[in-house]
Amino acid sequence: MSEIRTSVEKRRIRGIGVLSIFSAASFIYFGLLNSASEKTTFGFVLDNEWVIMKEWVISSASGSRIFSTLAILASISAILAYRKKIAVTIPASVATFGIFMSFLTWIAAGKFIPLTGLLQGALLLAVPLVFGSMSGLICERSGVINIAIEGQLLASAFVSGVVASLTHKSIWGLIAAPIAGAAISFLLATFAIKFSVDQVILGFVINVLVIGLTNFLYKKLLIPYQSTWNTAPTFEHIKIPILSKIPIIGPILFSQSIVVYLMYVIVAGITFALYKTKWGLRTRAIGEHPTAADTVGIDVNRMRFKNVLIAGLVAGVGGAYFTVGSVGSFGKEMTAGAGFIALAALIFGKWSPIGALMAALLFGFADNLQSTLTIIGVSIPSEFMLMVPYIATIIAVTGLVGRVRAPAADGIPYLRGGAH
């Protein structure tokens, strides 16, 4: 009898295959065909952290060869690990890292790459995505589709900017933002849960409404009276003693504004709450099989309503990041689709908080890589660079991510006794 493979195995084989081919291709293209005699410089220091190595200079060609050799070796060990039925996560990650570094060494020949700066920028670009995807996560785990993340982010960015401008205190902006997010959630919850309106259409309509409303107010209020209405102060960066001194990761993770620290707390909190508490168990239950939850005495719609409001609060903090968390003043449609990318991160991350966080970081990283490379002036057109995040997504989804399954009752209004 021929060997039978399950679909999971097939996907894993495909994933390892793609990695091996990419490893070999990067060795040939970035390594062997690399005739550049220039050197690539990697910078490691951002701030006044303890320094191990300030920068690392390597010839572009041999650097690429070293990293792609690493990728090839990792691919081989992934194949061996698969044969022996051991988890392939680590070798696969190493191979991906090798391919990426090989590419970076090749493309930045003769240039300076601030490696830590690249990571720090990635984190900052990911912040609103993380808050947005956490908002989506709480809603969808409860069984309510949240397309309105974009609207939540935009509305709370606007409100926090305006409130901080009027009070001259950024903290009031941060406090007002979640309220604005929750107000949008209230709209979503009322129509989705009370009136069973189609949640996808509803979400889009809310987004359009918020965009229209903020554009109008921006034009009629924020532009003509800018000095009173749109000059929000921003948060100072808080350096955490000792932690911020750690080489490489210190300045990336621990020299940030309060909004970023809030993000750590919220992601950890949601992860804990979702899997370890009564609230989490009930939330997951009403998103999977609301009738079953009802029969054990859980008020499904009340809990969904509450959770959608909580999700609004979370998204609100993400909205505040756009204004008081970074640039201060509000700009027209300044969220620029972050809510939708957050939604993609949620799905890519398989509706789990850590998964969504990772996906958001990946999107943030790809985005920042693209702008960094454009700034240092590489030969690849920036339009191509914009595709990088999506190519990464395709590879990850086809090869590395397992079966993606939404909460079973996601988007379905709950009506008791609907069977009759």
Residue numbers at the binding site for other proteins (CB under 8 A): 4-7, 276-278, 280-282, 284-285, 288-289, 291-298, 408, 416-417, 420
- Tell me the two tokens of residue 99: 């391919």
- 115 close to 91: Cβ distance less than 8 angstroms: no
Select 220 or 416, whichever has its Cβ closest to other proteins: 416
In the bound complex, what is the minimum distance in angstroms from residue 279's beta carbon to other proteins? 9
In the bound complex, what is the minimum distance in angstroms from residue 31's beta carbon to other proteins? 40
Select 101 or 293, whichever has its Cβ closest to other proteins: 293
Select 198 or 294, whichever has its Cβ closest to other proteins: 294
Select 7 or 227, whichever has its Cβ closest to other proteins: 7
In the bound complex, what is the minimum distance in angstroms from residue 178's beta carbon to other proteins? 22
Distance (Å, whole) CA 338 – CA 128: 7
In the bound complex, what is the minimum distance in angstroms from residue 253's beta carbon to other proteins? 25
Distance (Å, whole) CA 61 – CA 305: 58
**Alpha-carbon distances of 291 from 65, 143, 191, 287, 301, rounded to whole Å:** 58, 12, 20, 10, 11
DSSP codes joined into one string, 278-312? HHHHHHHHHHH-HHHHHHTT--HHHHHHHHHHHHH
Select 232 or 303, whichever has its Cβ closest to other proteins: 303
56 forms bridges with which residues in the sheet? 42
Select 167 or 271, whichever has its Cβ closest to other proteins: 271
Quickly list H helices, 88-148: 89-107, 115-141
With vertex at residue 349, the alpha carbon angle to CA 344 and CA 353, rounded to the nearest 5 degrees, is 110
Distance (Å, whole) CA 58 – CA 105: 8
In the bound complex, what is the minimum distance in angstroms from residue 145's beta carbon to other proteins? 18
Strand 238-239 to strand 255-256: parallel, antiparallel, or no bridges (unpaired)? antiparallel
In the bound complex, what is the minimum distance in angstroms from residue 126's beta carbon to other proteins? 28
With vertex at residue 170, the alpha carbon angle to CA 307 and CA 249, rounded to the nearest 5 degrees, is 80
Select 233 or 280, whichever has its Cβ closest to other proteins: 280
Q: Hey, is 334 helix, strand or coil?
A: coil
In the bound complex, what is the minimum distance in angstroms from residue 295's beta carbon to other proteins? 5
In the bound complex, what is the minimum distance in angstroms from residue 286's beta carbon to other proteins? 9
Angle between helix 300-322 and helix 258-276 axes, rounded to 10 deg = 160
Select 109 or 267, whichever has its Cβ closest to other proteins: 267
- Phi, psi of 343, rounded to the nearest 5 degrees: -65, -40
- 195 close to 189: Cβ distance less than 8 angstroms: no
